[in-house]
Structure 1
Amino acid sequence: MDPSSPYRRTVDLPPYRAILAVDAKDFTAQPSIVHQPMSGLILDLVGDAFTTAGLAAAWQRPAFLGPTGDGFAVGLSPQILPHLVHPFGRVLQERLAAYNRDARTDQARIRLRVSLNVGPLPVDPADPHWTGNGTARNDTHRLLDSKPVKAVLAGTSDRVTHVACIFSDRVFQDVVVAGYTEMHPDRCIEVPATVDGKAFAQRAWLYVPESTGFLPALTTPAPSPDSDPVPPTKAPVAPAVSGPRVRKNWGQVATSPGSMTQHTGGAQ
């Protein structure tokens, strides 16, 4: 009997891991000759952000690290989840802003989507590049590829907004709502995370360290994975402005008629 077959015997649950995944916008649109150096550069830039955020030790000894060409997924101790929520996103935004500002005109701007999740995953410290596989990691990649976080980078300035983060509901509830990080829950926007062509639909939370222009209306509740797909809506988009905000249903922003919509920019 295959010991890995499900439902045949009871086994110990693997340790929980924080899973952070990164993906670069428009990576495949670049000439093939620059793909390899860009992949290394992305690792270097994210590594710099880890160091600046005080997480150098975690970055140097991950539970697993799996490059994907235009990004990677890394497994880390769940204890540092609050720091990955904040200040890591803000620090990465600042690091990419500095890089893109100083980049030559013939160099592509690097803008990153970041997803953060947590769950049980088996790892092998002797072979960190080929372990850490499981549903929690798969879901982290699905969040990274979901419509809302892609829409943020597509709809904001490539000269100001360099990072868009998406947190799983588990991370949001256990870390943000529970108060283990400096980030206030109102900094996040609830979104339905769905991926074209995939049987994936989860409640998730957007965080944009530095927003520009308009943010799409993306607060429709996430459909059940077993339900029929919900057709996209074309709701009018209002300018994002600051002002009094009331949290509703764990972080949705209630707005007065015709007055304002979600705003996620600004310093912490």
Structure 2
Amino acid sequence: MHEQENGLPRATAAPYTRSRPLPPSRGIIAVDAKDFTGLPAIEHEVVSRTVPDLIRTSLDRAGLAELWNDRRFPASTGDGYVLGFDPSLMPFVIHPWLFTLQEVLTEFNIHALGALPIRLRVSLHIGPLPDTGDAFGGNGTARNDTHRLLDSRPVKAVLASSRENVTQVAAILSDRCYQDAVASGYTGRHPDHFIEVPATVEGKQFAQRAWIHVPLPSGPPPGPHTPGDAAREGRDTDGAPEEVGRRDPSGGIRVTNRAPNGNINTGTVHGGQRVTVTRRRTDS
């Protein structure tokens, strides 16, 4: 975009008015630190600086130093980091990088005396993005969707329902990413390592098919899991049937449906239905 003679920026042509080249396809990595906003303010800058260092170290250990060195439109998001890369490397990002990131975070959290543990949500996507090489590059629908996936309920719930001493990484893949890199067989991980989920974001008009992958799954933390816990992790607690992701011993996700004082249908109901709640009288 260039300036006109009057000093105002020159607008681009309106959408749908003429054909233009499609921007290059880019792989996108976005990460967020769990519970960042709950940290004391003095910790924010430290975490913001540490997250990209952890990404760089893990990419190097996974044999992907070139991805970091050639990264496109890198940016800190305060509680995380985002970057673009050559999409042909996406199979290696899914594996071994995600598992290597898990190992690096485990090592960091063990040895970072006095620092709060850093656990990361990771979002992976592939899509066309303008790559102008300046501060305004990399903006577009593909990047927006990457951040929506990162903020979606399923990936937040999975990380929250895992043990913090074991599971440091929970990843969510867009359906495009999954189909191109996993279902096609290019990634060194069987599709059974990935769980299909409906990705939605509280307060946003966003709903997409996506895939959860946890490099090192673990059981839920000890103690009861109440609707209040779910609300803190971004799940609905308004009395509607709630689906809570839990890891079972086999490594998959067990879904528990709850509807207090109501009922849940898993099929088709014909002719209507009635719910009767009977309360037992207790003699004084």
Q: Same fold (TM over 0.5)?
A: yes
Tell me by how many angstroms 1:55 deviates: 1.0
2:25 to 13, 16, 21: 16
**2:63 aligned with 1:54, yes or no?**
yes
Tell me by how many angstroms 1:242 deviates: 2.6
Q: Distance in 1 between matches of 2:14 and 2:244?
A: 49
Amino acid at match of 2:183: V
Q: Contact 2:198/2:209 (CA < 8 Å) preserved in 1?
A: yes
**2:159 aligned with 1:150, yes or no?**
no
- Percent identity, aligned pairs only? 50
Query: Deviation digits for residues 52-93 of structure 1, max 9, x if unmatched?
Result: 111111101212112100001101001101011111110000
Tell me by how many angstroms 1:178 deviates: 0.3
Q: Distance in 2 between matches of 1:151 and 1:81?
A: 25
Q: Distance in 2 between matches of 1:237 and 1:156?
A: 10
Alignment of 1:1-268 (within 5 A): 2-104=11-113, 106-125=114-133, 127=134, 129-214=135-220, 233-235=241-243, 240-242=248-250
What is the total number of aligned residue pairs between the two structures?
A: 230
Amino acid at match of 2:39: Q
Q: Distance in 1 between matches of 2:246 and 2:18?
A: 54
Q: Distance in 2 between matches of 1:197 and 1:236?
A: 19
Q: Distance in 1 between matches of 2:51 and 2:106?
A: 13
Q: Distance in 2 between matches of 1:192 and 1:18?
A: 21
Q: Distance in 2 between matches of 1:170 and 1:238?
A: 25
SS at match of 1:13: coil
Mean Cα deviation higher: 200-209 or 35-44: 35-44
CA-atom RMSD in angstroms: 2.3
Tell me by how many angstroms 1:103 deviates: 1.9
The residue aligned with 2:230 is none
Q: Distance in 2 between matches of 1:17 and 1:236?
A: 33
TM-score after normalising by structure 1: 0.80
Tell me by how many angstroms 1:177 deviates: 0.6
Tell me by how many angstroms 1:183 deviates: 0.7
TM-score after normalising by structure 2: 0.76
Unmatched 5+ stretches in structure 1: 217-230, 246-251, 254-268
Mean Cα deviation higher: 33-42 or 111-120: 33-42
SS at match of 1:86: helix
Q: Distance in 2 between matches of 1:13 and 1:44?
A: 33
Q: Distance in 2 between matches of 1:109 and 1:36?
A: 15
Tell me by how many angstroms 1:2 deviates: 3.0
Q: Contact 1:118/1:170 (CA < 8 Å) preserved in 2?
A: yes
The residue aligned with 1:219 is none
Query: Deviation digits for residues 28-51 of structure 1, max 9, x if unmatched?
Result: 111112211211111101110110
The residue aligned with 2:268 is none
Unmatched 5+ stretches in structure 2: 1-9, 226-238, 255-284
Change over 3 Å in CA distance of 1:237–1:133 after alignment to 2: closer
Tell me by how many angstroms 1:190 deviates: 0.4
Q: Contact 1:161/1:211 (CA < 8 Å) preserved in 2?
A: yes
Query: Deviation digits for residues 147-189 of structure 1, max 9, x if unmatched?
Result: 0000011111111110000000011111101000111000000
Amino acid at match of 2:20: V
Q: Contact 1:214/1:237 (CA < 8 Å) preserved in 2?
A: no
Mean Cα deviation higher: 182-191 or 33-42: 33-42
